[in-house]
Structure 1
Amino acid sequence: MSLRPLPPAAAELLEAFGAPPRLGAHLRLVHDVAWRLTGWLAATYPDLRFDREAVLFGAATHDIGKVVHPRELSGPGSRHEPAGRRLLLAAGVAPELARFAGSHGSWDAPGVTLEDLLVSVADKVWKAKRVPDLEQLLVDRLVAVSGQEPWQVFLTLDDHLDALAAGADGRLAYQNGFPVAVG
């Protein structure tokens, strides 16, 4: 599988924290989907303003708290979210970038930015999980910028998310080929 490398700062953090190989694989997969999603958005909605580099860093580090809560690598849990934000802040990562570790699971909270939504969408669609309420929040933002009818934006976004989700089986197999434990 050909994946884009993580941003150097994110890769250095994973190494410094001793991240398990499966976590690194997962973050590369979500980062790759985020890269494709943000590139498509920039081309399709040229008036949409967002910080693509922040989204890519967020996608590359959103689950870094699983270093502290490794059981959440193969099971449910959200303790990694505040732990990841704290880890990133302690490592000197700017709060506006560290926030993604804490916000990717709470995309419906007040004050969520477009960048937060994009990290959350990438974190779902990489494995072909579609979340209508999350996607509707993104549709609403795109409607506001494009002036298009909501149904037009929905259909356009839905087609693109379907295309991104299409490779989920291969991505899941790739991720699961890496061990959960370090060493």
Structure 2
Amino acid sequence: MTSIRSDVLSRALDAPTEPPLKPLPPEVAELLRSLQAPPRLAAHLRAVHDVAVELVDWVEDRYPDVAVDRAAVLFGAATHDVGKTVHPEELSGPGSVHEAAGRDLLLEHGFTTDLARFAATHASWDGPDVTIEELLVSTADKVWKDKRVPDLENRLVQALAAATGREPWEEYLALDDLLTRLGTDAAHRLAFQAAFPINQ
């Protein structure tokens, strides 16, 4: 049984896709294997991470003077739901217990507080100290399935406009164009995730 699950998990982490999904950071793939993560969770993390790569590439290209911790965003996207290895019931139903559990799990495995925070913050973006990195992870976690959240997008627009001195409406149009484009591949990402079982 464990061998079958490992094989399915490996496919979720490594299988080629069309359109292609980028691989997770090696340390994250290794962690998910060591935790014997549900294959569907691995597929979900891979899809969200792929969108996060696109978002960070866009930010770095459009805002070269804005300091964004690329590695932190990609790690955060790749691990944001890792707490669902402890609370697998939240893979198929609502719940937020996995958020703090994920942060704690990452800390227990030696990851820094700065990296582990995304597991706890990816579902909240209205705090006064929210960072651009957290907003990007939260955005990736929505737009991977073409879900648009105006409050979240407005926070990201305001952060980018404040960092550059540009008009918010200009940044909104640019972000809207990107998110619309990313949304066109949502059906492929959803199909990829659905191809893997929650339990194996």
Q: TM-score under structure 1 normalisation?
A: 0.97
Q: Deviations over 1:86-118 (max 9, x none)?
A: 100011110100000000011112321111111
Distance 2:77 2:85 in 1: 16
Map 1:159-174 → 2, pairs under 5 A? 159-174=177-192
Which aligned segments of 4 or more residues in structure 1 are displaced greater than 4 angstroms? Answer: none
Q: How far is the alpha carbon of 1:174 from its aligned partner?
A: 0.8
| CA offset digits 1:56-88 (Å, max 9, x no partner) | 000000000000110111111111000000100
CA displacement at 1:17 relative to structure 2: 1.1
Q: Tell me the equivalent position of 2:30.
A: 12
Deviates more, 1:56-65 or 1:41-50: 41-50
Sequence identity, in percent? Answer: 62
Q: Select which of 86, 91, 95 maps to 2:109.
A: 91
Tell whether 2:167 aligns with 1:149.
yes
CA offset digits 1:127-175 (Å, max 9, x no partner): 0011000011100111112222111110011000110111111111110
Which residue does the alignment assign to 1:104?
122
Higher mean C-alpha displacement, 117-126 vs 138-147 = 138-147
Structure 1 match to 2:10: none
Separation of aligned partners in 2, 1:110 and 1:144: 14
Q: CA RMSD in A?
A: 0.8
Q: TM-score normalised to the size of structure 2?
A: 0.89
Distance 1:124 1:39 in 2: 17
Aligned counterpart, 2:194: 176
Matched ranges for 1:13-28 at <5 A = 13-28=31-46
Q: C-alpha deviations, 1:28-72, integer Å up to 9, x for none? A: 000000001100110011111110000000000000000011011
Q: Which moved more, 1:120-129 or 1:108-117?
A: 108-117
Structure 2 match to 1:132? 150
Which stretch shifts more, 159-168 or 106-115?
106-115
1:32 alignment counterpart: 50
Equivalent pairs counted in the alignment come to 182
- What is the aligned partner in structure 2 of residue 78 from structure 1? 96
Q: Report the AA paired with residue 22 of structure 1.
A: R
Task: Identify the residue that residue 42 of structure 1 maps to in structure 2.
Answer: 60
SS at match of 2:30: helix
* CA distance in 1 between partners of 2:84 and 2:125 (Å): 19
Structure 1 unaligned residues grouped into runs of 5+:
none
Helix, strand or coil for the counterpart of 1:5?
Answer: coil
Are 2:67 and 1:54 equivalent residues in the alignment?
Answer: no
